[in-house]
Structure 1
Amino acid sequence: MRNQMTLSGQWDFKIDPLNKGETELWHKGIGESEIITVPHIWQQDEKYLDYKGAAWYQKRIDDVSCSDENELFICFQAVDYQADVWWNGNKIGSHEGGFTPFEFRINKDLIEEKNSLIVRVYDPADNAEIPIGKQGSWYTRVSGIWQDVFIEERPAPYISEVFLTPIVDEERLELSFLLEGETNDQSITGFHYSIAPHSLGLEKWSQGEHFSGTVLMEDIKVENHKVTCHIKVPGIKVWEPSLPYLYELKISLLEGSKDSSTTTFGFRKIEQHNNELYLNNEKIFIRGALDQAFYPDTIYIADSDETIIKEIELAKEMGFNLLRKHIKVELPRYLYWADRLGMLIWAEPPNYVKWTPQARRRFIQGLKDMITRDYNHPSIIIWSVYNEEWGLEWDLDNDKEKQAHVQQSYELVKKWDPTRLVCDNSGWSHIQTDINDYHRYFVLPEQHNQWKEDVHSHIIGEPDKNFVPGFQSDNEPQIVSEFGVWGLPDVDKLKSFYNGAEPWWFVNQGEQTHQDDYKRPSTLFQNFDKFGISKAFQNYEKLAVLSQRRMFRATKALIEEMRKQSEMAGYVVTEFTDIEWETNGWLDFMREPKEGFENLIDFNGANGIFAELPTHNYWQGDLVSIDLFLLADLKREEPAQVKWSIVKENQEEVQSGESELLVSHNLTTHKNAIEFEVPEIEKPVFFWLKLELFVNGVRVAKNEEELTFTPSLEIEDLNMFVDVKDENFKNTLMEAGFSQPQEEISNSSTIISDYLDDKLLNHAKKGGQVIFLAEEGDKIKEKSMYTFRKLDLGESWARASSMNYVDKEWFGDLPLRTEMGWEFEGMFPDYVIPFTDYKKNSNNRTIHMFGNPSIAESADVISGYFQGWLGQNGGTLIEQKYGEGKILTTTWKIKESLSSSPIAQYILKGMIHNLSQKKVTVKE
């Protein structure tokens, strides 16, 4: 083993805002300074949170020794961004690149009894041509000596850049390494190698085959100091997530040098063909999470191995088998534990912003450095090059130069590492890729039909459309590598983590494109008591619980739709943890589980039982037929038992059944697997369909679906009048019993209308009630004082942060959820009444539109809409006084859903009752 002296620990630190350090010769001593601890991200100190530019570090080192035949190197694991290094006032090197290791040789003539190491770090404010990832663009910036530093003594020559390439089908390893340093005419005759078990998960693993041997240089080819040979390893165990056998290779040079090198590795292969992924020749389905690896206090580094282990174990508990390390070169220790615990990794380099030759040069160098450093990690199965054209200025479809660059980059990565899969431009238009991946953001249940259509038509149906025009798919595996919805954290819990203070990132640390109100945590405090939000949610804790419950419901439906498709090769959900203001994590920022954690594996595990429901809402007496989709981690198809039951909220079972069906690791579809008649009930209520899958008597999967059952609607004399322009809807109202012949309208009557003109306003002014069904928004020709905001109807990252909410108490004991779940299926609005300003995109232009907060201030907001941290507010059901009467305006799709949704009919009846002050009594 080489002798090492760690330099992590206390250093002197001093910022240089006027950039005068070099002029004033700070490399000879930085003078008055403060003491910090390396690894050091200077943004961790709030007084340097916004500091950009130069800073100086100094370390005093005694007792540095080195034998005459060896050499000394100063080794930095990562410095962001540019580093200039002096030893005892003598410059020994410069480096740029913020994520990967570099080193400089220390001339032994420079070593004194007492030594001074000085590093100038420069992280410029104008970083558009620097690979940065999301630090400083979306989240808090990272600057400084942010990974370990050490001095290492090495013989001459010494071993570097050891690469191990498993050739699984032939049970052999390709081994290559470089011989570097002065040889002093000493002859290296060969090397000895030994391979021994290293670990299996958390346990040390000593059993298994050991391999060793001696390789003579005369028997192999050596080119440009690079040694390459093949080692036979018969019987070696393969590495896979369920059994992550990790081995340790030690190389020792013979004669001429005493150097040795130790590397861990796993014996595995990854490949794709015929639209599927294979790990060690076995088909694998990716169940992944995007992981940006920011932390609530240490920003960009995990504080301990225990933290890393906990994260990976939590990921496995949630059913994940892969983490996509998003535009960040991950910490070596994290990758080591991914190897050891069996977590697959999709690695991705940090992006730059501005398309220039210098930016591209830096990016490609950083990409190569990442691959060089991490080549031997078996957990890494995919390299990305670009993400969503970041750095390509979102013009790949039209720019031939950029297309050529992306294709060349793909080919470069394949040359550097032909053993792994490469994704050229994750999520967006592809040129040449091993993975045809998509980034698709939908919010469910609101966009359930659009999501199904997108999966079937856009993704599965037309893979070529995910390529730049002129390029086409070659049957690559299809993966949705980004999707997901938000679930807000408990802000009081966050403050508690920060000792009662508001986190620095409550003021969004991103650049201008991330300063929308819904991306700022501080917006929550400004808006919670407005727009009916506090009335619906009562307090921050309940807001967090219901927001997370809504997130669970949406994510479950998103994932299950993909898992029902045999053509899909996997998915990567956004994301593993919350990151500062972005709260779509399955864990919160402190790595604590959100609501529903214990049930995530029901739809995200290797085994699964999924139901295809015609709807979630039924009339009593309906005959219900449900298809089932089954998965089990089995080597072959086997019989399985499916048990189902219909239960009430108190878990009382009202119906049940079971059947024997076939199941395997391939998706099996069973039509009409469950059939039942909805029982008679007294009032609309929630029920649950419970599902269980048993193999050989052991339950391997469970799941459940939310349902409502509703008795026939009875319409008494409601003193109402229908005045709608939509004749089809008028007929629907009549069939449902709402439309009743009336000779005249009294001043106290309630009028249902799909428009709002002076006649209806005068009716309200005289003491009448008007229910304005405004679901068609700005398409309505007569809508009086109302303006509407049309929500994004298709794929939308912004809308994926949104929530529809309702003050359910207003409707009494109807089965409604504050966070509006499947009971509103078919009723979710496409329009809202905007209370706050918003942006509208048209013809690639952004148009600023205006909201009207005074409406919310003067109305009773019964139901509303917000995005993210309670921004972008709008109303979807509001009650206003107008003269002596009232106007109830809703954008819920009552017209569209009345004939198909039992709950919609009861909701309309409730609106009529409440508006005429015959409010239903709330039942506890």
Structure 2
Amino acid sequence: MKNIFLGLTILMASITNLWSQDPDALLINTTNRKTTSLNGAWHYIVDPYENGYYDYRYQPFDQQEKPSRNAYFTNSKPNSPSDLIEYNFDEADTLQVPGDWNTQKEKLYYYEGTIWYKKSFDYTKTDAANRVFVYIGASNYKTEAYLNGKKLGTHIGGFTPFNFEVTDLSKEKDNFLIFKVDNKRSKEGVPTLNTDWWNYGGITRDVKLIETSPTFIQDYVVQLDADDTSLIKGEINLNGPSEENQKVLVEIPELKIKKQVTTDASGTASFEIKSRKIEYWSPENPKLYQVDLTLNGNTLSDRIGFRTITTKNDNILLNGKSIVLKGISLHEESPISKGRANSLEDAKKVLGWIKEMGGNYVRLSHYPHNEHIVKLADEMGILVWEENPVYWTIQWQNESTYANAENQLKELIQRDKNRASVIIWSMANETPVSDARNTFLTRLIETARNLDPTRLISAALEQTSSPDNPNVKIIDDPMADVVDVLSFNQYLGWYGGTPESCRTAEWHIEQNKPVIISEFGAGAKQGYHGDKNTRWTEEYQEYLYEETLAMLKKIPQLRGMSPWILVDFRSPRRPLANIQDDYNRKGLISEDGIKKKAFWTLQNFYSTWE
């Protein structure tokens, strides 16, 4: 068993060190703080040449002592009829936030580049001494943020949250918040140039103002001890001028727990609480407890489930009992609006389909999804695999690329470390073996384990054929010896052979670890019917599922699967007219929400698989 308390100490120590250097470190659990939404219509300007950011010598305006009034972030207006200002946000069109620009405006469907967003607002604090932050759930990919003409900072990464303190810049009247959002792909990026999903641009998740006391609870972790399941352990970290020797009250009312702790010089307080009455979280009983943390009369509440997740030989153990993960993979596309998913309604729809399928598990691929889905997974009892966007081939030897990947992983772990549903941190998907790649992924794994040793580590690897017999499939990857759960993608019958090929395949897996088949599948156009040997028909997809499931069930270590994929999703790699039409068609449900025949095949398999 792993030492959870050591892990909590390491996690909070690293976060404390981060805060001491960065006043804009992430606030967690923003849903239950005092917030003001800035969602809605934002004015926008499309800027493919980045004229609003660079002068004609290609020097950034925001690095100049006195920026030109034609720098878009200044939001300047003409002082006289002869004054030349070549933009006007207030006369510009609007986009809805949260939302991607690709599906809101037809002319922006394929656009990759810079768009500037502007939102005006008034804000009066409830107490003049309080602090104010602007929080962005996600914005793809590089975001430069400005308030009232002053730069707040830069964030890189399209799928994790970030925030900036604006206490000294915000006013009661006539604030203007401006974001430069650039979704251009780059070879140094994470992900890099080549992916198999749509590169949705824009402010894709909620934007809000958060008001706090001068000293407040910024972060906390509350989890069950893996060695003693009657023991709840946790740590709390404060942010502000009065961090030391502060009293924080920890309460779990349903367990009749009330404990006061005192912060040390770094603003950190740890605690241990014994209870023999804990109901453990599981898919069958997704029990969540209200946890209240109170500092100086201000209470921050959360709903937290208590469970353990470990492995032993080839078993995955949830609360000490073997479990089979009956799942599916999912991209973050809305089944309602057909753009980037960002709402609770989106999450309810897709997780409801997984429950209908008989599933207890979802692989969120290939990047962190929005917070609604992991919180709802807590409520519904669906286990979650979360993935860092290290996808296919990136610049393994580029140190800045590694730092980018590590930062996105840290932001994901910081956001979701208190979610009981999250059981696996995945480092990568389908990455080719090389010494540089092995070092890159090993470093990420070490970071994840140092931050959070309470969850399992995996990566979606690739299978190969034995050099002695092409029908024998093996996992020849050094990462197989490093991860906790051996996961791999296989597409026998689609990218190689036909469904009958599954009948002669043999799997020789030497690692004594639980196996999750992270992907398998076949494309099918919903409503296109024909012979089971005709590609793109629902019958071909159904046939492949039948043969693949029979093949995979023979793997002795098989403990889970997440076929590719729940719903058809957009991809510019999929241009086949009248079949794909910019969609990857491997979904078991069409983009219009209609189930294909293979949905029911998987449902039937899950109903009897133990």
TM-score interval, smaller chain: 0.7 to 0.9
Structure 2 equivalent of residue 354 of structure 1: 395
For the Cα contact (< 8 Å) 2:244–2:264, is it kept in 1? no
Measure, in 1, the Cα distance between the counterparts of 2:585 and 2:307: 35
Q: Which amino acid aligns with 1:438?
A: F
CA distance in 2 between counterparts of 1:395 and 1:443 reads 24
Question: Residues 217-232 of structure 1: matches in 2 within 5 Å?
Answer: 217=262, 222=264, 224-232=266-274
**Which residue, 587, 590, 607 being the options, matches 1:588?**
590
- Relative to the length of structure 2, the TM-score reads 0.79
Which of 451, 458, 480 is equivalent to 2:502?
451
What is the Cα deviation at residue 449 of structure 1? 6.3
Query: Among 201, 204, 210, which residue is 1:143 paired with?
Result: 201
Does residue 419 (structure 1) correspond to residue 464 (structure 2)? The answer is no
User: Would the alpha carbon gap of residues 112 and 408 (structure 1) be closer, same or farther in structure 2, given more than 3 Å must change?
Assistant: same
Tell me if structure 2 keeps the 8 A contact 1:295–1:590.
no
Give the distance between the partners of 2:555 and 2:169, measured in 1 at CA: 67
Mark the CA change 1:565 to 1:52 in structure 2 (over 3 Å): closer, same or farther.
closer
Inter-CA distance 118–603: structure 2 relative to 1 (3 Å threshold): same
- Could you tell me how far apart the structure 2 residues matched to 1:561 and 1:18 are? 53
Partner of 2:42: 11
**Distance of 1:596 and 1:18 partners within structure 2:** 46
Superimposed CA distance per residue, residues 318-346 of structure 1 (whole angstroms, 9 cap, x where no aligned partner) = 12221111112011001111111111111
Matched, 1:265 2:304: yes
Query: What is the alpha-carbon distance in structure 1 between the residues aligned to residue 491 and residue 533 of structure 2?
Result: 23
Q: What's the counterpart of residue 290 of structure 1? A: 329
* Correspondences of 1:513-912 after superposition (within 5 Å): 547-580=537-570, 581-595=583-597, 597-598=599-600, 600-605=602-607, 607-608=608-609
Give the conservation status (yes or no) of the 8 Å contact 1:159–1:259.
no
Counterpart Cα distance in 2 of 1:485 and 1:248: 43
Q: Secondary structure at the match of 2:203?
A: coil
Distance 2:598 2:438 in 1: 44
Please tell me the residue identity of whatever aligns with 1:549. E
Superposition deviation, residue 598 in structure 1: 4.4
Q: Which residue of 1 aligns with 2:488?
A: 438
Larger radius of gyration: 1
Q: Partner amino acid for 2:247?
A: G
Partners of 2:261 and 2:270 within 8 A in 1 = no
The separation in 1 between residues aligned to 2:412 and 2:338, in whole angstroms, is 20
**Higher RCO (Cα < 8 Å, 6 or more apart):** 2
Q: Deviations over 1:870-910 (max 9, x none)?
A: xxxxxxxxxxxxxxxxxxxxxxxxxxxxxxxxxxxxxxxxx
Tell me how far apart the structure 2 counterparts of residues 155 and 278 of structure 1 sit (CA, whole Å). Answer: 42
Secondary structure of the structure 1 residue equivalent to 2:139: coil
Aligned to 1:365: 407
SS at match of 2:537: helix
SS at match of 2:287: strand
1:85 paired to 2:145? yes
| Corresponding residue of 1:410 | 445
1:33 aligns with 2:92: yes
User: SS at the partner of 1:170?
Assistant: coil
Instruction: State how far apart, in whole Å, the 1-side matches of 2:41 and 2:423 are.
Output: 38
Determine if the alignment matches structure 1 residue 182 to structure 2 residue 270: no
> Aligned residue for 1:488?
525
Listed one character per residue, the Cα deviations across residues 576-628 of structure 1 (whole Å, up to 9, x for unaligned) are 122232211111122321126445422122x25xxxxxxxxxxxxxxxxxxxx
Query: Does structure 2 conserve the Cα–Cα contact (< 8 Å) formed by 1:407 and 1:424?
Result: no
Aligned mate of 2:426, from 375, 378, 384: 384
Q: Is the 8 A contact 1:322 1:343 kept in 2?
A: yes
Q: Distance in 2 between matches of 1:110 and 1:332?
A: 27
| Letter in structure 1 aligned against 2:370 | L
Residue 483 of structure 1, CA deviation: 1.3
SS at structure 2 position matched to 1:182: coil
Structure 1 Cα separation of the partners of residues 40 and 606 of structure 2: 42
Deviation at 1:296, TM superposition (A): 6.2
State the alpha-carbon separation in 2 of the partners of residues 447 and 83 from structure 1: 45
The alignment-based identity, stated in percent, is 25
> Do the aligned residues in 2 keep the contact of 1:4 with 1:150 (CA within 8 Å)?
yes
CA RMSD of aligned residues (A): 2.8
What is the CA–CA distance in structure 1 between the aligned matches of 2:383 and 2:169, rounded to whole Å? Answer: 46
Structure 2: how far apart are the matches of 1:570 and 1:115? 51
SS, match of residue 95 in structure 1? strand
How many angstroms apart in 2 are the aligned matches of 1:176 and 1:189? 14
Residue aligned with 1:551, SS: helix
The correspondence for 2:293, drawn from 251, 263, 272, is 251
SS at match of 2:125: coil
What is the one-letter code of the residue matched to 1:582?
N
CA displacement at 1:237 relative to structure 2: 0.6
Instruction: Look up the match of 2:80.
Output: none
The one of 159, 182, 185 aligned to 1:122: 182
Aligned residue type for 2:38: L
- SS of equivalent residue, structure 2 residue 560: strand
CA-CA distance at 1:116 after TM superposition: 1.4
Question: Which residue identity is paired with 1:9?
Answer: G
How many Å separate the matches in 1 of 2:539 and 2:406? Answer: 42
1:7: Cα distance to partner?
0.4
Q: Report if the CA contact (8 A) 1:271-1:421 is conserved.
A: yes
Distance 2:485 2:244 in 1: 47
The answer (yes or no) to whether the contact 2:499–2:543 under 8 Å persists in 1 is no
- Deviation for aligned residue 1:288: 1.9
> Deviations for 1:101-156, whole angstroms, at most 9, x for unmatched residues?
111111346414222112222223x422222389x732321111111111111002
Partners of 2:489 and 2:152 in 1: CA distance: 45
**For each residue in 1:1-31, what CA deviation from the matched residue of structure 2 results, as whole angstroms up to 9, or x when unmatched?**
6432110011111111221113422212151
Q: Secondary structure at the match of 2:94?
A: strand
Deviations 1:230-261 (A, max 9, x none): 122321111111111122211001xxx34332
Q: Deviations over 1:548-579 (max 9, x none)?
A: 13322320221133234443222221121222
Q: CA–CA distance in 2 between the matches of 1:46 and 1:128?
A: 27
CA distance in 1 between counterparts of 2:177 and 2:552 reads: 55
Under a length normalisation based on structure 1, what TM-score does the superposition of the two structures give? 0.53
The residue matched to 2:190 in structure 1 has which SS? coil
> Is the 1:70–1:156 contact (alpha carbons within 8 Å) kept by the matching residues of 2?
yes
Contact 2:244–2:265 (Cα < 8 Å) also in 1: no
Distance in 2 between residues matched to 1:265 and 1:419, nearest whole Å: 15
Contact 1:427 1:481 in 2 (8 A): no
In 2, Cα distance between equivalents of 1:290 and 1:177: 34
